[in-house]
Amino acid sequence: MTPRLLLRLNRASNPLSIVLLLAGQGFLTKPLRGWQTSCIMGAMTPAARLSPALRRRFLISFVASLVAVIGTTVGIRACGNNDSDSRAQGAVDGFVTAWRTGALSEVHYANAGNVPALYAKAAGDFVGETPKLAAGDVSTDGDKGHAKVHVTWGLGSGQTWRYDTTVQLRKQGGEDWRIVWSPAILHPKLKGDDALQVRRGVANRGDIRGGGDALLVTERPVIQVDVVPREVPDPNALATTLGAKLSADDVDSAELRKHIRGAKPDERVEVVTLRRERYDAVKSAIHDLPGVHFTEATMPLPPRREFARAVLGAVGPVTKEEMTAHPGRYRIGDQVGKGGLQQRYQDLLASSADVTIETTSGLKLVSFAGKVGQQLTTTLDLRTQDAADNALASQDKQSALVAIRVSDGAILAAANGPSTSGVNLAFEAATAPGSTFKMVSGWGYLNAGVTPDQTVPCPKYVTAGGKRFQNDHEFELGDVPFHTDFAQSCNTAFAGLAPKLGNDGLAKAGKELGIGTKWSVGLDAHTGSIATGGSDAEKAAAVFGQGKTTVSPLAMAAATAAVARGQWRQPVLVTGPAQQKTADGKKLDGHLIGQLREMMCEVVTKGTATALRSVPGEPVCGKTGTAEYGNEQPPHSHGWFVGYQGDIAFAVFVNDGGSSAPAVDIAGRFLRALPR
């Protein structure tokens, strides 16, 4: 502290002036303990400058202390032995800050030695971890002093280790207090060459089960494949070979080559973790490659890699970003949920191992009992999910399929095609439904008085609000019954009827089928959105699923189930723990809903989905859809099919499918694979 600043502090007329002078110079120290202003000033060495957070804490404490003594006649210059105590406190505070921030080399020590290296050795398994620290008051006796420090280590999975240790000080060079380094600073029972070590038991994450208590996700055997660079004579050749043999497992030769070359000689470079059965299939091709190591382990996995992948999520090592977002909650090596149910229900499913902390000499310091991960129960059905996943397996476009049990709303399958890259389009897509929405507008028209046998013209073109609408490939049917317009998916007929729904009739019809209402299945999901009002052109476009209307496959499957059931019921995915449910909708008019079902069955028997007539079992009823998007000419189109058979309602979506044909094909493969 400069003589000029000391002079200005001594001349300050009020406490606020003192605070402002100190703040302007960037000085900070431990909160005041009584009226020790001149002592604090004398202790403000550069080593005692601390973080912005501590600086703010000091200012608050400083002001409080000054206000408490305003009006007293205590002089700034009179401090006596308190000056030495304050310097000692500053030394401790500076050391604690350096410990917390990893800057131990910047602290002055009374005893010689490379303290950062000594600390790293004594910390053992805690090297690289950051504890929470709180320093107590310094006690001094002549040239010696000590202070308690409260230490808290995060052990991951919500476990913490708390204890008090002691920092010793020694005065040197007159008034200069320095830290006396000892391993006992880390823990009072550390001596000599001892170090801290952590022993962990096995932590098994909670299982995820499906309908009928079927085991969906549980600990399954895996093989971890690693490479040790020092043992690899030709990194390029090894990376090329592994990339070729494990390309189906997302191993990229170029990336692997880069990682091997960038790693330390004895570092283990992770290549991939393989299910036991997959490893057995490729073992002969990779087992004897130089520098490749294999470690047996277990991981929480579904029965197949593709099984409900985006819905279930995965489990993997905690990232630096996740550790930063949840201070003290995780530690390096913890396994956490990544997406889907695994991430949403992390706290429920997460487990923690039994932990014992001891010294390398065998002295037990503390033990913590682990936490058993709890089970999550869903409605997913093993065979129905398999049928859905397999139906999408060969689709090179982004695609999704959702199947719901009509009788109770249970989600039996939620599949996303291999091109969706882990995105849950089945629940989260918000896209135009195309002509599948004629199921909704058709319901609205029936309620508005239109009958299935009523003649509703289907011209090649129709104009609404100054905009011309046409049918797919510009077909026309002429004057035909409304049920024929529905079965053949006539846009112009539906657009011509749009005035019957007024400003909000379409939204009301959709709401009765659950679209655009608020409900939750335990994961993020788009329940649909239907605009009200708008121009005549917008209303006409909306009735055949264009314009501002958006849905997800889940929303359309649930709406289809409502038609088949005769009442809206919220879809259900998670049953344990119990979830809040939206109340069932009103029962739909039995006569009118029966008419809508008959029209949907005609789509398959005589309309745009005759490819499904040969599906075994009960009749298949549904609605095809093609939804144009973008401004290109010719326009791009999504493909849809929604339908029901017996007690199963479903929706199929193919992004950029070009027409409804790919969705109809997927629906057929799905239905034919269902258990009978």
> E strands within 389-493?
399-405, 411-416, 455-458, 461-464, 467-470, 478-481
One domain for residues 630 and 568: yes
Q: CA 484, 485, 486, 490: dihedral to nearest 10 degrees?
A: 140
**Domain-located, residue 45:** yes
Say what the pTM is. Answer: 0.77
Of 134-138, 326-330, 566-570, 619-623, which gets the smallest average pLDDT? Answer: 326-330
3-state secondary structure of 123: helix
Q: What is the mean pLDDT of residues 634-648?
A: 93
Q: Do 361 and 400 have their domain in common?
A: no
Residues 609 and 639 in one domain: yes
Question: Residue 372, Cα to own-chain centre: how many angstroms?
Answer: 22
Among 332, 349, 376, identify where a domain stops.
376
pLDDT at residue 4, rounded to an integer: 39
Angle at CA of residue 524, ends 522 and 529, nearest 5°: 120
Position 199 in a domain: no
- Whether 395 and 414 map to the same domain: the answer is yes
How far apart CA 147 and CA 531 sit, in angstroms, is: 67
Give the pLDDT of residue 81. Answer: 55
**Distant-in-sequence, close-in-space partners of 467: CB < 8 Å, separation ≥ 6:** 537, 540, 541
Asked if pLDDT for residue 30 goes beyond 90, the answer is no
CATH code (residue 336): 3.90.1310
Does residue 530 lie in a domain region?
Answer: yes
> In this structure, are 528 and 509 located in the same domain?
yes
Specify the DSSP element, H or E, that contains 633: none
Question: What was the pLDDT predicted at 260?
Answer: 96
One-letter amino acid for residue 348 of the chain: L
- Establish if 602 belongs to a structural domain: yes
Residues in the chain: 676
pLDDT of residue 200: 85
**pLDDT at residue number 328:** 66
User: What CATH number corresponds to the domain at position 109?
Assistant: 3.10.450
Residues 188 and 217 in one domain: no
| H/E stretch holding 514 | none
Is 603 inside a domain boundary? yes
The reply to whether 395 and 346 lie within a common domain is no
Angle at 485 between CA 480 and CA 487, to 5 degrees: 125
Which residue matches tokens 């890699």?
305
User: Quick one: 467 and 611 in the same domain?
Assistant: yes
Task: Say if residue 337 is in the same domain as residue 394.
Answer: no
**Distance (Å, whole) CA 128 – CA 548:** 52
Question: Is it the case that residue 629 has pLDDT exceeding 50?
Answer: yes
Tell whether the model's pLDDT for residue 75 goes beyond 50.
no
| pLDDT, position 628 | 84
The pair phi, psi for residue 576, each rounded to 5°, is -145, 115
pLDDT at 48: 38
CATH number for the domain spanning 663: value is 3.40.710.10
State whether 430 and 519 are in the same domain. yes
Closest CA to 216 of 573, 670, 477, 533: 573
Q: Which residues have C-beta within 8 Å of that of residue 277, sequence separation ≥ 6?
A: none
Q: What is the C-alpha separation between 452 and 431, in angstroms, rounded?
A: 29
Containing structural domain, residue 290: 208-376
Domain-located, residue 587: yes
Same domain, 164 and 287: no
CB-based contacts of 547, cutoff 8 Å, min separation 6: 432, 531, 534, 538, 541
Give pLDDT, residue 57: 45
* Statement: residue 40 has pLDDT above 70: no
Q: Is residue 91 part of a domain?
A: no
Q: Is the pLDDT of residue 460 over 50?
A: yes
Q: Is the pLDDT of residue 19 over 70?
A: no
> Token pair 């604090």 is at which residue?
40
The pLDDT of residue 535 is above 90: yes
Total tally of structural domains belonging to the chain: 4
Q: How far apart are CA 465 and CA 496, in angstroms?
A: 11
Q: What is the mean pLDDT of the chain?
A: 88
State the pLDDT confidence band at 24, using cuts at 50, 70 and 90.
very low
The answer to whether residues 145 and 220 belong to one domain is no
Domain boundary among 139, 164, 194: 194
| CA proximity to 669, closest of 612, 602, 621 | 612
Between 330 and 241, where is the model more confident?
Answer: 241
In a domain, 145, yes or no: yes
CA distance 176 to 84: 9
Please list the alpha-helical segments (H only) found in 394-533: 425-428, 438-447, 482-487, 491-497, 505-512
Task: Determine which helix (DSSP H) or strand (DSSP E) holds 381, and give its type and residue range.
Answer: none
The residue from 316, 344, 376 where one domain ends is 376
